[in-house]
Structure 1
């Protein structure tokens, strides 16, 4: 069995964070999201992994997965999940495979879905109960067998949404070959699954155990960061001077915590600096990030982001790569903002 991770999307719901880089490389709990996908596949016994990238995402994805020994498949234009599978046909060959959306996170991995793929089963679909199924593909079950699948229905027939992992027999490639574009002009994986059902094949639904996150919006990133930090094991490899660390705190090699308070769970990345500052629970700092004479909690600071000399505590915030928030002295006393498209600021 092979693994296929999809990482070619533009991540429009997360702009401006994704204006310059793809969603799967954004860090949660100190690591790019796509790392968790690769490791979940390998924990399920899948060693041969392909990653579908686009011309826009390829460079960043390759950098994030350097040393992981995966193969890359180029999808020139985003035309839907089923199209991404079709362009990977040469890589997949005649093997069954796990299709994994590169921006999804599963607390307990994907082994139950792989284990449910047995003789006579053409597909296994991960399912999760959600409050508003209208934003997802929705499954109708008889026992464990899926008998109908609908893409973002206005009147959902159940609360079982399709999560971001699928296990397929190679015959799904033949179904995809015959697909027509949907109303939005894409080749939908839900249509491919429905095609298997219509051909009388057995498609099994398995509910997700533990939490599942689709990191499609900023609040989802923050929640995913919280959930992953809850499972953090404390570790101090960097320099800690005149500071108090409480709870589960990771200080990576090359990081410095000086005359500060850090309350876990919190992650201080390689080369980050926390000086005369407060870092509160559910906060992660990426490599080279800085928090100086400031306070922050329940937030994500990406690589080389900086929070300096800010009087009010920062909460529920995400600072992208190289973003800076700092105070301004002198007159006139005013806020000075340089914001990209779709940015959001709340001032107290």
Structure 2
């Protein structure tokens, strides 16, 4: 069996964070989201892994996965998930395969879905119960068998949403070849699954165990960071001087924590500097981050971000790569902001 990770999307709901790089390389609990997808496939015994990228995402995805052995498949235009599968047909060949959305996180991995993929089953679909199924593809079940899929229905027939993992046989390829674009101009994977159902194929739904996260919005990223940090064991490899560390804290090699308070769970990445600062629970600092004479909690600071001499505590915040938040001393007493499209700022 092979694995296919989709990482060609533009992540429009996470702009401005994704204006310059793709969502799957954003770090949660210190690691790119994409790493968790690859690790879940490897843990399930899948060693041949392809990653679908676009011309815009390829460079960043390759850099993020430089330590992994994967194949790259180029999707020139964003024409939907089913189109991405069709583009990867040469790589997949006649093998059954796992389709994995690269921005999804599963607490307990994907073995459960592979175990349900038995003889006579054409597809296994991961399902999760959600409070507002109108935002998702929704499955109608008879026993374990899916008999109908509806994409973002106004009146959902169930609370079982389609999550980001699917297992297919090659039977799905001719169905995809006969698909027509949806109203939004894309070839939908839900339409391909419905095509299998309409042919009388056995499509099985399996509920997700543990938590599942689609990291589509800033609040989802922060919550995913929280959930992953709750499971992270302490690890102190960097320099800690005249500081108080409480709870589960990771200080990676090359990081410095001086005269500070860190309350876990928290992650401090390689080369980060924390000086005269407070790092509160559920905070991740990426490589090279600087937090000096400032306070931050329940936040993600990405690579080389800077938080310096800020009087009020930063919380529920995400600072992108190289972003800087500093105080301004002297006159005139004013805020100075340089913000990209779709940025958000709250000033006290």
TM-score (norm 2): 1.00
Which residue is equivalent to 2:110? 110
- Once residues 173 and 121 of structure 2 are traced to their aligned partners in structure 1, the CA distance between those partners, rounded to angstroms, is 15
Is 1:286 aligned with 2:286? yes
Alignment map for 1:1-348 (pairs within 5 Å): 1-348=1-348
- Once residues 152 and 97 of structure 1 are traced to their aligned partners in structure 2, the CA distance between those partners, rounded to angstroms, is 26
CA drift of 1:67 comes to 2.0
Deviations 1:39-89 (A, max 9, x none): 000111100000000000000000000020000000000000000000000
- Once residues 125 and 135 of structure 1 are traced to their aligned partners in structure 2, the CA distance between those partners, rounded to angstroms, is 17
- Structure 2 residues not aligned, in runs of 5+: none
- Once residues 2 and 236 of structure 2 are traced to their aligned partners in structure 1, the CA distance between those partners, rounded to angstroms, is 37
- Once residues 84 and 156 of structure 1 are traced to their aligned partners in structure 2, the CA distance between those partners, rounded to angstroms, is 27
- Once residues 33 and 347 of structure 1 are traced to their aligned partners in structure 2, the CA distance between those partners, rounded to angstroms, is 30
- Structure 1 residues not aligned, in runs of 5+: none
Calculate the aligned-residue CA RMSD, in Å: 0.4
- Once residues 184 and 280 of structure 2 are traced to their aligned partners in structure 1, the CA distance between those partners, rounded to angstroms, is 43
- Once residues 333 and 208 of structure 2 are traced to their aligned partners in structure 1, the CA distance between those partners, rounded to angstroms, is 52
CA drift of 1:287 comes to 0.2
Aligned length: 348
Q: Where does structure 1 differ by over 4 angstroms across 4 or more consecutive aligned residues? A: none
User: SS of the counterpart of 2:37?
Assistant: helix
User: SS of the counterpart of 2:245?
Assistant: strand
TM-score (norm 1): 1.00
CA drift of 1:154 comes to 1.1
Deviations 1:300-346 (A, max 9, x none): 00000000000000000000000000000011111111100000001
